[in-house]
Amino acid sequence: MTEGTFGAPAGEPDLVQLLTPEGERCEHPDYAFDLDDEAIRGFYRDMVLTRRIDAEAIALQRQGELGIWASLLGQEAAQIGSGRAVRQQDFIFPTYREHGVAWCRGVDPLALISLFRGVDHGGWDPADVNFHLYTIVIGAQTLHATGYAMGMQRDGCVGTGDPERDAAVLAYFGDGASAQGDVNESFIWSAVFNTPTVYFLQNNQWAISAPQERQSRIPLYRRAAGFGFPGVRVDGNDVLASYAVTKAALQQARDGGGPTLIEAFTYRMGAHTTTDDPTRYRLQDELEHWKLKDPLARVKAYLTRNALIDDAFLSDLDTEADDLAAHVRAGTLAMPEPDLAATFDRVYAEMTPELRAQQEWFREYHASFHPSGQAADGGAPHAEVTR
């Protein structure tokens, strides 16, 4: 059942790798990592902290504080590497697992968690951070990404040679989404209109319980050739390679060179979400195999071997992670309950008379259960329960 998902071993010619699982730098003829060791320390910090956010969110879900959580465990390098490759003016369309990319965009983890707690559908302003809301319907956002990139073209933000102006769109999706019509339509649009769209496919091997072999008979990056643009497979557990490949693809897109499909070959080490049980559909030895490729361990090995970090760095980072986890926990528990009456105002720019009538009815009806007037102002009637 799991045979074949080990796939693409290190050293396979079509897998771009710049840092081996043992933590040794290596060369690739087409891609080079062009940042310094300080940047690698920063990447390591990013990965440790996002892994900690993830762990805390899983704990919160297990304790009944979140309805569900989609873990990024194992995909930190793919997300931090690609997320750190974007420029401020680029725009990102994520799926619902891009917590590391959100981190790179400066989105407070609590804004992600509020979605999974059931407080809102995404607590950040996409225009502030150039990071769209999480999209739950698989692959739907890839079309939005293409359309947004078409807008960039029309705005004259492609191929001007001005690094402050030229922009691209980075669209995330998974191996399961690669089977969706919308993703394939997005490929067609991006190709024929030559839009500045970079596709970042995180192939974590499993679409809930369906293995990659159930999505495709060929390596996913090769799909791009059929649509007429380049595809490249990168070691998704290698943060340096993920960064270098994404940076190159984004630059090509900004320059007017059109779309690229990047397949980050990685592995989801946890469940698809907290509602499924991977032991039902995959074997432990597969997980053990991938643990040897852990995206954090290899960076730590590199940094340690080259004396770029010391115990003080790691200890400080631990403290920082603890503080972040505490922030996540306290912030989650302090989130006010959403006010249903307030949500009526967000359906339309111009509210309909019928909806206004329903809103007024609901307010009065709800207030009738709280004669003290506690909820009559549209406040948070149940907030005291969770505090």
Partner 1 sequence: MTALTLAKSLNAGLRRAMEDDPKVVIMGEDIGRLGGVFRVTDGLQKDFGEDRVIDTPLAESGIVGTAIGLALRGYRPICEIQFDGFVYPAYDQIVSQVAKMRFRSQGRLAVPMVIRIPFGGGIGAVEHHSESPEAYFAHTAGLKVVACASPGDAYWMIQQCVASDDPVIFLEPKRRYYEKAEVDTEATEAPYPLFASRVVRDGTDAVLLAYGPMVKTCLEAAQAAAEEGKNLAVVDLRTLSPLDLDPVYELVRRTGRVVTVHEAPITGGLGAELATRITEECFYSLQAPVRRVGGFDTPYPPARAEEDFLPDLDRILDAVDRVLAY
Q: Which residues bind partner 1 (CB under 8 A)?
A: 120-123, 125-127, 132-133, 135, 137, 140, 142-155, 181-182, 185-186, 188-189, 192, 343, 345-350, 352-355
User: In the complex, what is the shortest distance from the CB of residue 21 to partner 1, in angstroms, rounded to a whole number?
Assistant: 38
Separation CA 332–CA 118 (nearest Å)? 11
Residue placing its CB nearer to partner 1 in the complex, 211 or 259: 259
Closer residue to partner 1 (CB): 191 or 240: 191
Instruction: List CB contacts of 372: < 8 A, sequence separation 6 or more.
Output: none
Active site residue 132: no
* Beta carbon of residue 56, minimum distance to partner 1 (angstroms, whole number): 24
Type of residue at 344: F
What DSSP character marks residue 362? H
Q: What is the DSSP string of 200-241?
A: EEEE-SEETTEEGGGT-SS-GGGHHHHHTS-EEEEETT-HHH
State the nearest-atom distance from the C-beta of 355 to partner 1, in Å.
Answer: 8
For residue 342, the minimal CB distance to partner 1 (Å) is 9
Q: How far is the CB of 340 from partner 1 (least distance, A)?
A: 12
For residues 111 and 122, what is the distance between their CA atoms, to the nearest angstrom?
Answer: 6
65, β-bridge pairs: none
Residue 50 in contact with residue 299, Cβ under 8 Å? no
Whether residue 268 lies in the annotated active site: yes
Token digits of residue 247: 């940076």
Torsion of CA 142, 143, 149, 155, to 10 degrees: -150
Spell out the long-range contacts of 381-384 with Cβ–Cβ below 8 A and sequence spacing 24 or more.
381/337, 381/339, 382/337, 383/336, 383/337
Give residue 74's identity as a one-letter amino acid code: G
Residue 348: CB minimum distance to partner 1, A? 5
Among 197, 209, 212, 208, CA closest to 264: 212
- Nearer residue to partner 1 within complex by CB, 348 or 365: 348
Beta-strand runs (E) in 48-141: 91-93
Q: Of residues 45, 272, 298, 363, which has the active-site annotation?
A: 272
Catalytic residue, candidates 268, 298, 302, 363? 268
- Picking from 275, 293, 182, the residue whose alpha carbon sits closest to that of residue 237 is 293
Residue closer to partner 1 by CB (options 31, 93) is 93
Closest separation between CB of residue 190 and partner 1, Å? Answer: 9
Minimum CB distance to partner 1 smaller for 44 or for 344: 344
Q: What is the amino acid identity at position 252? A: Q
DSSP 338: P
Q: Catalytic annotation on 134?
A: no
Whose Cβ is closer to partner 1: residue 352's or residue 368's?
Answer: 352
Environment class of 59 (CB within 10 Å of its CB; exposed 0-12, middle 13-18, buried 19+)? middle
Catalytic residue among 28, 281, 282, 327: 281
**Which of 123, 230 has the CB closer to partner 1?**
123
Q: Enumerate the active-site residues.
A: 268, 272, 281
